[in-house]
Amino acid sequence: MSHRPHPGRWRRWRGFWTPGSGSVRPGAVDGVDLGAGHRAGWGARDRGVRGRGERHRAAPVGYITVWPSGTPRPQTSNLNFQAGQNIPNLVIVPVGADGKFQLYNGSPGAVHLIADVAGYILGGPPSTPGAVASLLPARILDTRIGQGAPGPVLSMGSISVQVTGQGGVPPTGVSAVAVNVTAAAPTAAGYITVWPSGTPRQETSNLNFQAGQNIPNLVIVPVGPDGKIQLYNGSPGTVHLIADVAGYILSG
């Protein structure tokens, strides 16, 4: 079961103690302690967190990885940024046994980070239909290396990606998944639509991008009867696509 407490902010880098100091260095890791009974509504049994992570202030091109403490850093990204760009993304991340999660600066420059909590997921194995389970981020698609589907995705083209049985998602009993979708190296401005296989593509967008912009967005999408989702490139150029699964919702 997921819950949405009153928003709470951890601003360790931008100035919860000293404004404007303490940026995260290149390749550095820092942790956030959620803590039982925090003012934002956290408890000892919390298993995951939904929050908005934001990259703040100038840094070279890079990415941010968010993952639970006490576990190896996954080879995934939750947020991609350009030099001088302030950009947020929604993140679902499990919390470690000590109530913390970690953030990694995958850029050659320093960066300030902001985190706003937006909700939490109770601990314990999910069993009730509609229950949300958070996962350690796992990459299930990277067209740059032919993982999950070949790439790049052609103009006005679509690809199908298997999600059930991948990255910690159960092979059955899943109605929807949370995936962080990243557009990489697009040759023209456009958008990405994500939808369940076996259904018509809807006239909506989940991710918009400019030419040459690497940009992510967290998407919650139902899975088709075959356990797959589809991604459509709504641009006049090619684009590579990356998808990291972050959680799932039980069917029933």
Tell whether 127 is covered by a domain: no
Per the CB < 8 A criterion, the answer to whether 7 and 116 are in contact is yes
DSSP annotation of 147 reads B
pLDDT digits (tens, 9 = 90+) for 157-198: 999 999 999 999 999 999 999 999 999 999 999 999 999 999
94, 122, 150 - which closes a domain: 122
* Residue type for position 94: P
pLDDT band per the 50, 70, 90 thresholds, residue 123: confident
69 and 150 fall within a common domain: no
Alpha helices in the chain, H assignment, sequence order: none
- CATH code of the domain containing 87: 2.60.120
Q: How far apart are CA 74 and CA 106, in angstroms?
A: 12
Structure confidence at residue 191 (pLDDT): 98
Range of the structural domain that residue 20 is part of: 2-122
The pLDDT of residue 46 is above 70? no
> What is the total count of domains within the chain?
2
Q: Which two tokens stand for residue 237?
A: 């150029």
Read off the tokens for 210. Answer: 């400019």
Boundary residue ending a domain (99, 122, 145): 122
Regarding whether 143 and 94 lie in a shared domain, the answer is no
Do residues 8 and 110 both lie within one domain?
yes
pLDDT, position 33: 65
CA pair distance 191, 206, nearest whole angstrom: 7
| Tokens (6 digits) for 143 | 């067209």
Q: Which of 122, 156, 174 lies at the terminal end of a domain, its last residue? A: 122
